[in-house]
Amino acid sequence: MDPATQMVIDGQQAFGMLGTVLWTMLRTGAMFMTMPLIGTGAVPRRIRALLAATLALAISPLLPPPPAGAGIDAATVLGVARELGLGVMMGFVLRLIFEAGALAGELVSHSMGLAFAQMSDPLRGTSSGVVGQWFYLAFGLLFFASDGHLAVFSLLVRSYQALPIAAPWPDPVGMIGQIPDLFSVVLRCGLGLALPVMVAILASNLSFGVLARAAPALHPMQLGLPVSLLLGLFLLAALAGQIASPVLNLFNEAFGAVARLSG
Q: To the nearest whole number, what is the mean pLDDT of the chain?
A: 77
How many angstroms separate the CA atoms of 79 and 76, rounded?
A: 5
pLDDT level of residue 161 (50, 70, 90 thresholds): confident
Q: What does the alpha-carbon distance between residue 116 and residue 104 come to, in Å, rounded to a whole number?
A: 16
Q: What is the pLDDT of residues 127-148, one digit of tens each?
A: 777 788 888 888 888 888 888 8
Dihedral of alpha carbons 49, 169, 259, 159, sign:
negative
Residues 6+ apart with CB under 8 A from 128: 102, 105, 106, 118, 119, 121, 136
* Rounded (10°) angle between helices 130-145 and 224-239: 0
Q: What is the torsional sign of CA 137, 42, 182, 255?
A: negative
- Residue 236 and residue 129 in contact, taking contact as beta carbons nearer than 8 Å: no
pLDDT confidence tier of residue 5, bands split at 50, 70 and 90: very low
Using CA atoms, how far residue 121 sits from 41, 91, 130, 136, 210, in Å, is 9, 19, 9, 10, 38
User: What percentage of the chain exceeds 70 in pLDDT?
Assistant: 78
Q: List the chain domain ranges.
A: 3-261
Q: What is the pLDDT of residue 4?
A: 41
Q: What span, in angstroms and rounded, lies between the C-alpha atoms of 232 and 125?
A: 26
Rounded Cα–Cα distance for residues 222 and 174 (Å): 54
The interaxial angle of helices 74-112 and 178-214, nearest 10 deg, is 10
